Chains A and B, each alone.
Chain A
Amino acid sequence: MNATTIGLIAVVIVFVVDIVLLLGLVLVKAFHRKRTERHALRRAGYVATLSRHLASNQHSDRIGEAAADDDAFIDAVIDLRNVVSGGEIETLTGLVDGLGVVKRQEAKLRSRFPLGRRLRAAVSLAEIGDETTAPVLIEHLSDREPEIRIQCARGLGRMQHTAGIDAILERLGIEDPWVRVRFADTLIGFGAKATWPLAAYIRVNLGHDENRGVIEAIRVLGTIGDREIGPVLSGVLRVASDPEVQLAAIEALGFVGGPMAIPPLDHALRSPDWRLRAKAATALGHIGDPSVNRALAARLEDENWWVRRNSAAALGSLPRGDQVLLATMRSADQSAREAAAEALADIGTLTAARLRDEAGVASHEDVLLLEYVIAGDRMMV
């Protein structure tokens, strides 16, 4: 056999293998499409049957036991739970209980494999599980599969199972970063119920495990926004040495707001660390109390650009803050004037000044602002 023949045979083999692979791919895609279509059809059928049950309690359509193992049935139940409320949810729960759906899904979650089936079971339980499912979800918060752990936390959050808060918190510091963020998000779902368990967690864990869980817990407290937590966040800001923790506490105080949040933020505004000063300025802007206008005005002459910028932006959002910014346009400090002009432009004062100037009714501050901006434009040219 010469080289040409061998080459020809190799080309034919490669061609045949390619064709077989291509056919295989087409078949797999066709099978998947068919399966998806069948799933959608079954799901629509279940939605129709369940709708008849909901519309008329004595409906005669029986839902076969096979439905309990059918993902399309569970999807139909989940769909309907998002559409109806009140007594209809109880009817759906009764149907699901009667078929033993939850128990079967729990058994699937407890099985060793395959992952897809276990994950599907976790998603189903997160959506339709009840209080009796909570211990199973808590057990699987330490599942070997991160996505299953996340679904279990989500389910506990959906059912507002209070014991789930501590169970989720126990894992906060040891989880992978992306799982930790998802766990923290589920804690937000518990609302004010999670406030004091989170506070206790922070007290115990501050300074440990590189504060991984603590930072996330502070973020959650800020998002929940329970004002009673102000003193706890203030305490964290005072005792923490990790700037990341301090930054998280400042941000959370800004979201929580209230009069108790202002003194620690005012103090942070004078921190030697420019990051804390800049973050505190933004947090004070969020709170919206004009009593801090003077403290923020002082920071318009800060040595750091971010602090000046954030202080000006905060003043732009505060009542009477625009007056402070306009007064700053007469400051001898060019950096302060720049920051003020930028903030005024952001809040529309510049547009208003131009309109007043065009109408011949510009105030002294309008003229100063426009002259400053025109001078800046010339410098840019």
Chain B
Amino acid sequence: MDEQKRVLVADDSETVTTVLVTALELEGYAVDTAGNGVEAYEKGIEGGYDLVILDQLMPGMLGLEIIDRWQQEGHMIQTIMLSGVDDERTVVNSFESGAVDFIRKPFRLPELLARVRQRLPD
């Protein structure tokens, strides 16, 4: 990778962020984290990330709420939604809100990394 791509991982579970940060750093990405919805919303605007991996259920703000607000405020942030709730409505709402992908928890790491690579080509 010529220029290191920047990824924000937003999840209130430290285990999830540790796994994702470790895997994404090994892939060569520069990774930052947010542990709650408000932090994710603010970092997403200020950080200039190439991709945000956003948990749906976080304290402070829900993932869908965050994407909606980014969209309303004109911030075009490429987001992959991560959720333990995989009912049809959550998945459809995620895509309708502007998420580029939806990944269910628990996730397969190689599949998640492949989806990230697809969104962040060299």
Which residues of A line the B interface, CB within 8 A?
A: 44, 47-48, 51-52, 54-56, 76, 79-88
Contact A47 B14 (CB under 8 A): yes
User: In the complex, given contacts A51-B21, A84-B108, A87-B108, what are 17 additional A-B residue pairs having Cβ atoms less than 8 angstroms apart?
Assistant: A47-B18, A48-B22, A51-B18, A51-B19, A54-B19, A55-B19, A55-B26, A55-B109, A79-B15, A81-B106, A83-B15, A83-B105, A84-B19, A84-B109, A85-B106, A86-B111, A87-B109
Which residues of B line the A interface, CB within 8 A?
A: 13-16, 18-19, 21-23, 26, 105-111
Chain A residues touching B, majority SS: helix
Write out the residue numbers on chain B whose beta carbons fall within 8 Å of the beta carbon of A76: 15
C-alpha gap A283/B110 in the complex (Å): 47
**8 closest residue pairs by CB, A with B:** A55-B23, A51-B22, A86-B108, A85-B106, A79-B15, A51-B19, A55-B26, A47-B18
Write out the residue numbers on chain A whose beta carbons fall within 8 Å of the beta carbon of B13: 83
C-alpha gap A44/B17 in the complex (Å): 11
C-alpha gap A24/B108 in the complex (Å): 49
C-alpha gap A80/B16 in the complex (Å): 8
C-alpha gap A79/B107 in the complex (Å): 13
Contact A54 B23 (CB under 8 A): yes
Residue from A48, A85, A86, A87 in contact with B18 in the complex, judged by beta carbons closer than 8 Å: A48
How many A-B pairs have beta carbons closer than 8 Å: the answer is 54
Contact A83 B16 (CB under 8 A): yes
Contact A88 B22 (CB under 8 A): no
Write out the residue numbers on chain B whose beta carbons fall within 8 Å of the beta carbon of A84: 19, 106-109
C-alpha gap A85/B19 in the complex (Å): 12
A-B residue pairs in contact (CB < 8 Å), sample of 22 = A47-B18, A47-B19, A51-B22, A52-B22, A52-B26, A54-B23, A54-B109, A55-B19, A56-B26, A76-B15, A79-B15, A80-B15, A80-B19, A82-B15, A83-B16, A83-B106, A84-B106, A84-B107, A84-B108, A84-B109, A85-B108, A88-B108
Instruction: Decide yes or no: A44 and B23 within 8 Å by CB, A83-B13, A87-B108, A87-B110 being known contacts.
Output: no
User: Least Cβ distance of A78 to chain B in Å?
Assistant: 10
Contact B109 A47 (CB under 8 A): no
Most chain-A CB neighbours within 10 Å: which of B21, B105, B106, B107?
B106
Write out the residue numbers on chain A whose beta carbons fall within 8 Å of the beta carbon of B110: 87
